[in-house]
Each structure stands twice: as structure tokens, then as C-alpha cells.
Amino acid sequence: MIYTVTFNPSLDYVVDVKTFKTGQVNRTEQEKMFPGGKGINVSIVLNHLGLKSTAWGFLAGFTGEEISKRLDEEGVNTDFIQVEKGISRINVKLRSTEETEINGQGPMIRSTDIEKLYAKLDTLKTGDVLVLAGSIPDVMPQSIYMDIMKYLEGKDVMIAVDATRELLANVLPLHPFLIKPNNHELGQLFGVTISSKEDVKKYAAKLQEQGARNVLVSMAGDGAVLLTEEGKAFESEAPEGKVKNSVGAGDSMVAGFLAGYLKNKDYAQAFKMGVCTGSASAFSEELATKEEVEQLLKNHAFPF
């Protein structure tokens, strides 16, 4: 069974403003709202690809209710923990001449809420997959993903982590099955700017030296690189297409990679699925459908 954990779910408020200007009233041309947060997006895309998962995490207030309702309508299985104080965030995604995002902090999560999550973790069994994805509310320690992985040590659960900075760096010695930084996040970890695939490979290898088993680095429209635990490297350009909404492209890539890998444990196939699922989401208003992914898989020429 696959489980995703989103500590900080959101309602993503995606607005189109023709020419956004600061310091004045801007009017939207279109606005849409989606349930979001990285683990939730992974669950939605897995569902589109025909894989059932359960979305875990923390919800609060009326926004939390709306997230839960929308996921029910989507047919995503959820088992959230309700927290008492605050509301789940509304993250603003502003599409204008440039894309700008304003992500909120999220509600208060108390130690009793965390205990409830640990009770869920106790139900995990050998062979289960756990995805820890996204930021954590400000009130939480940057060790939380590491703490969860330590708690699960010896259980043989396949763990994927999509996080940034300290939250990500802390889990490496615990050998996550998969991490998926983008090239900017990879650069942040080493205090450098990374734009070439050669540099991506160099720094991704350092993350493997620090303990990560498989490192998948996304580079938005410039494609992606995968270093596997078997010592292989795969790289690809991004498929061609018109970008409509790139929010969640990275999460879609994680979902596609896992779906591809779980099929027959083949990293080349998993990488292809990851790249095409990421791009299919970027080329669509909403997260990728199975048909959209299959279309890209058919048309994109991978160099291997």
C-alpha cells in the first residue's frame, strides 16, 4: 500500500492576471482552486495512474474541510488528522508575465497531533511505500522527517522524500529510497547555482555519498537526471509542449516515478514515467491524467 504524508496541505488559489503590478489593485482574468500540498498532489496523480494510496496529514478549519471534500470528490482515499487551532493554508499561485507563488505557514500542530500520526505509522507493513513531501508548519522541528524515518528503521518501508534544505539534508543518513530535489534546491544544499546536467550529476552524487539511494533531479523545462543505487545515470530533455500550469509538476514526477518503478522495478522505465508525468502535468491546467502521460511516453524520444 502507498501512503503520502502532507504536513501542510493547502488550497491552491491559481489566478491569472494579465499584467500584474505591485502597489495597486489588480483584477483577475480567471481564478481556480485546487486541493494541494505536495503529498496530496502525489496521491491525486497516483490515483489518475490507477494506483490507490492513502493521503495522511494534518487539516484545520474551513479550508481543511474543503480540501478533504475535494479529495473525496476526486476519489482519493484520505485519513487526515484534524488539528484544533488555525486553518489549512491558502497558497496563491499568480500567473502573469512571470509565475509568482505565496505559500502560507499552516496551522498549529501540537505534540498530541503528532502522536496520532505516529499511531498511523505503526500500521505500516513491509513493502509499503511512504511519501514524505512538502514543507512543515513553522512550529515544527526540521528533524521531523528524519525522526519519522528513524522510527520506521528496520520495517522495510520504501520511503520517498520531497523536501528542501535541512528537512531534506537530515534524512540522507537514513537512506531514503528516493529524493527529488529540483536543480535550485540541489544547489541550495551546497551553496552553489546549478544549471548544467554535468553539475547536477556531480552534486546528486554527493547526496548519494551522504546516503540517498536514488536521486532524481528535476530541471523544469530543461528536463531531469536520475542517479540510481545501481550506479547508473539517466538523463533526458523535457518533452515538448505548451506549459499551462506547472504547479505540482514535481509531485507528478514523483508519482510517475513510483508508479513506473512499482510496475517491474526498472529504473529506466521509472525515469521515463517520472519525466512524462511531470511534463504532462505542466502541459495541463490540472494534474496529469493517465492518457496525457501515455501520449507523451509514446512521442518523447529518450536517449536510452
Contact set with ligand ATP (CB under 6 A): 182, 218-221, 223-224, 238, 243, 246-251, 253, 275, 278-279, 282
Residue 28, Cβ density class (10 Å: 0-12 exposed, 13-18 middle, ≥19 buried) = middle
Q: Which of 4, 10, 281, 284 touches ligand F1X (CB under 6 A)?
A: 10
Q: Considering CB distances under 5 to 8 angstroms, the limit depending on partner class, which of ligand ATP, ligand F1X, none binds residue 238?
A: ligand ATP
How far apart are the C-alpha atoms of 261 and 131, rounded to whole Å? Answer: 14
Determine if 248 is a binding residue for ligand F1X (CB under 6 A). Answer: yes
When the beta carbons of 10 and 277 are compared against ligand F1X, the nearer one is 10
Determine if 284 is a binding residue for ligand F1X (CB under 6 A). Answer: no
Cα 139 to Cα 6, 84, 164, 192, distances in angstroms: 15, 14, 17, 28
Stretch that binds ligand F1X, among 7-15, 212-220, 264-272, 283-291 (CB under 6 A): 7-15
Residue 122 designated active-site: no
Active-site choice (12, 162, 199, 251)? 251
How far apart are the C-alpha atoms of 22 and 198, rounded to whole Å? Answer: 38
Cα 280 to Cα 83, 90, 186, distances in angstroms: 34, 24, 23
| Cell numbers 505503526: residue | 122
Applying the rule CB under 6 A, the residues between 128 and 167 that interact with ligand F1X are: 134-135
Q: Considering CB distances under 5 to 8 angstroms, the limit depending on partner class, which of ligand ATP, ligand F1X, none binds residue 71?
A: none
Determine if 185 is a binding residue for ligand F1X (CB under 6 A). Answer: no
Minimum Å gap between C-beta 125 and ligand ATP is: 29
Minimum Å gap between C-beta 65 and ligand F1X is: 18
Determine if 39 is a binding residue for ligand F1X (CB under 6 A). Answer: no
Q: Considering CB distances under 5 to 8 angstroms, the limit depending on partner class, which of ligand F1X, ligand ATP, none binds residue 292?
A: none
Determine if 250 is a binding residue for ligand F1X (CB under 6 A). Answer: yes
- The 77-96 site mask, x for binding ligand F1X (CB under 6 A), equals --------------x-----
When the beta carbons of 199 and 251 are compared against ligand ATP, the nearer one is 251
Applying the rule CB under 6 A, the residues between 189 and 228 that interact with ligand F1X are: none
Q: Which of 103, 142, 269, 295 touches ligand F1X (CB under 6 A)?
A: 103
Determine if 251 is a binding residue for ligand F1X (CB under 6 A). Answer: yes
Instruction: Render the chain in DSSP notation, one character per residue.
Output: -EEEEESS-EEEEEEE-TT--TTS----SEEEEEEE-HHHHHHHHHHHTT--EEEEEEE-HHHHHHHHHHHHHHT-EE-PEE-SSS--EEEEEEESSSEEEE--------HHHHHHHHHHHTT--TT-EEEEES---TTS-TTHHHHHHHHHTTS--EEEEE--HHHHHTTGGG--SEE--BHHHHHHHHTS---SHHHHHHHHHHHHHTT-SEEEEE-GGG-EEEE-TTS-EEEEPPPP---S--TTHHHHHHHHHHHHHHHH--HHHHHHHHHHHHHHHHTSSSSPPHHHHHHHHHH-----
Minimum Å gap between C-beta 161 and ligand ATP is: 13
When the beta carbons of 125 and 242 are compared against ligand ATP, the nearer one is 242
Q: Which residues are catalytic?
A: 251
Q: Which residues bind ligand F1X (CB under 6 A)?
A: 8, 10, 12, 36-38, 41, 91, 103, 134-135, 247-248, 250-251
